[in-house]
A and B are shown apart, each in its own frame.
Chain A
Amino acid sequence: MALAVGPRAADAQPAQPPSEPEPMQHHAIALTGGSGLSLGSSGGGNSYAARTPGFVDIAWRTWHSTTPQWVTGFSLRAEVDGRTSVGVVPRFEFSRTVGRLTLRPGFAAVVFFAPFQLAGPEASFTVALRLGSVASLIGALAVDLFFIGNDLPPRSTVFSVNGALGVSIEL
């Protein structure tokens, strides 16, 4: 009997206008792959530019419909070019939609944890082109600075500029 009271009580509340969607949490999954250019410098003044190992990102993003401009999420990142490594990339983005395009500047922390450790901040700019009701084509440009981890030579830092392309599916 008590269970029947709940819906009736809800029905008694004033109904929201049908045009206003109910607030909800949105989620999206993206698969991207990328590479770029890495510049390594050591304390002795030596520097060298190399191609960034190709990587694959599986990203989860979430945002609330009341604040769609703030997007959080993380990626599982795997380097698959010449080595195999796994990392996580927690990120925070500002999202702005203009027509079919969604622009997302953001920042993240890249943490490779196996089989070596490598970490540093990342600034990114992602563009998503909506292809349908749920799918988007996404491209991203990211700048990384690695200065923590046992994959770095002593007293050296690695600066990377990477691009990535992929697809995103809103769940």
Chain B
Amino acid sequence: MSRSSCSQAALALLALLAAGCEAGRCVRHSDCASPLSCLATRCVIPPSDAGALDASDDAGARDAGDDRPADAGATTDDAATAPLDATPDATLDAPADLGSDAAGDAPDAE
């Protein structure tokens, strides 16, 4: 192996080892800071903290399956700026809307 190819190999190795330094990216939940979890290689606010309706959701529910799309959760960058109560408000509004719609539909059905 020539000296130049050896240097290229060393640079490639350094580049590989430098991978993973990007903030907010992850391959495991434990790569993320404490309140965040890994979803689609990005650290996001876990569904339970973001106002999930399931009151029984706890830390052990990480492996229970999360079908939320990748762009549904705030990334670490968003987490620093977005108000945390935005999602809970949205989830709290949802049942009320459904209820009013159902009430509005009821007379039509009759």
Contacts and interface: CB of A to CB of B under 8 A. Distances in A.
Interface of A: 37-40, 42, 44, 46-51, 53, 79, 82-83, 85, 116, 118, 149-156, 158
B25 A48 contact: yes
B99 to A, nearest CB: 31
Contacts of B21: 51
Interface of B is mostly: mixed
Given A48-B27, A118-B28, A151-B29, A42 B17 contact: no
Contacts, number: 81
Contact of A153 (B17, B39, B60, B67): B39
Given A48-B27, A50-B25, A151-B30, A37 B60 contact: no
B107 interface: no
Contacts of B19: 37, 49-51
Contact of B63 (A37, A50, A79, A149): A149
B37 A153 contact: yes
